[in-house]
Amino acid sequence: MGHSGGVRRLTWLAVLVAGVLAYLAVLRVMVSTQNVNYFPSRC
């Protein structure tokens, strides 16, 4: 269980980083288009 525990401890960090990157991507699109409806409706 030693190796599995280390992987599980780092999994939340990977999820957090992916979420922050997705948030920043959406934020950048909304700011650049100045339209909050553009990103969700076009993708």
Q: Domain map of the chain by residue range?
A: 2-42
Q: pLDDT digits over 16-32, tens only?
A: 999 999 999 988 888 88
Name the phi and psi angles at 12, rounded to 5: -65, -35
Structure tokens of 1? 């269980």
Q: Are 30 and 39 in contact (CB under 8 A)?
A: yes
pLDDT value, residue 24: 94
Cα separation, 36 vs 33, in Å, equals: 8
Q: Is the pTM here over 0.85, yes or no?
A: no
Range list of β-strands (E), 1-43: none
Whether residue 13 has pLDDT greater than 70: yes
8: exposed, middle or buried (Cβ count in 10 Å: 0-12, 13-18, 19+): exposed
Residue 42 — very low, low, confident or very high, per pLDDT cuts 50/70/90?
Answer: low
